[in-house]
Structure 1
């Protein structure tokens, strides 16, 4: 690997390196509209390093400059360099990571969506549990942490987050029912019946949670009815959390592996990914895409970007990358996920 101590080494046969003047920041040279450039910049933002982008329409593939290193080549080459130069959080799968290659894009898409939904559900369950504890210990309806704002404002934010999760979950279910399950049904009729039934089973719970949050928003904070509504909401969220966890694990154990036996060439995989993005139009737009990505670890997020990059709709893919990059730049690269070396 290249280094910043005055000596420059080649990463691979496809990497070209030259000696350049030392710099305190990582510079990326490339086309403003290049998908590879977007992905390299996003990778560096996940590393939270000082980043400077230099736009140049004459550069076909991005060039990365770090101190005395100048690295060019494929996106994979640059990502490997970034991951070795700045190890945390990891962006390239290590030996033993859950994703193995090659694996159908649709399997990666569905599995990573499971990861994101599970993360957001866990977050909501903990949030409501904390809300219940605070109301139990502070019966006056005021937030213990003044930065949380008023109870009504907090419940409003809770409702907004849950509405986003609900839309993601519903679109995910539609994607499976319209894209994933038909492929499996052609091979084994009836194999997806249980999964379809579970989708229908959880709809009343999901709608009930939405109504619970609405009710809490108009109740007097701290009163008996408010307290009871909070505990009802907590119980329903935990039920949905348990059902979803079991459902995701069952699909990943029994259904999704069957797709690996389906013969899909590159063109077919691109077509399937494009269909997924069409069905999950809200999720794969500036409206919800950042929400989906917030539920993924940086490694998983980069894998998801790699997967949707196979979509034949290049305009949509570029738009998603651009929106995510702009959001990360606006928050200094931060996301809702924090790297934990013990995980």
Structure 2
């Protein structure tokens, strides 16, 4: 790297760090998460699955950011990396102005009160040997110095907040329906009064009627506890209901980030347009404007050169798409897009 390029890179990095204000609760700077691929008798690394490959965004305090994309695009991996359940391969993660990308697990333990996660399947994330009372109070015992009386008061407060009954505290997870188990998972995540909650497809395994109740519950709890959500989902109708902004992810990279209304009315990236065209509409008229993507999603172990979407892009332009990976560009206030020809 020559001196001029080094200076430019350092300047851009410095500008990004200076943008980490008190209003930005979580900031990701070129975050990568690669999983090694090993083969042979000696299990030597022969490649890497680039599940997350250079993602940058900022999450404002008190907002809900939706992260959407096809299965396998890296959404859940990104969510787990941001809360340090997985260690990032490269890049920086700032939480409340503090760089947490390389802190030890012991140091992260002190931050677990502020950062919690709700997993997709409560049936597998909740210990079947524990009662509801044990599940909800366990984080309090591990991460706080609260007295037993305060933990018990918080338990029954949360039970009421998530719509369960006091007599439920002695039951095991298998005695509940899917919606009730997810309510327990939400209560467990909120037990230590976190600031940031990463919700990894929290309604995907639930019936539609139950989904609405859980989404409304999360919306109410956000107002009550001043929470900030990173809401991961593949269902665009769900994120439209609960989110303030949406980030669209494809093959480990962000394609577009925009406010909800702007994204749904004026999408810029061809991939975003294809996703939105597949959303069911309450109209008897046939969907004549639907975009059907051809081909399969490329392997994250060997992604295409240039723009990663160019092998399936219905608006494919030419060599620049094959050779140069587009940067995220500001199109209008709060709306960014990574496309050479978004017009």
Q: Which has the higher strand share?
A: 2
TM value normalised by structure 2: 0.26
Larger Rg: 1
Ranked by relative contact order (alpha carbons within 8 Å, sequence separation 6 or more), the top structure is 1
Q: Which has the higher helix share?
A: 1
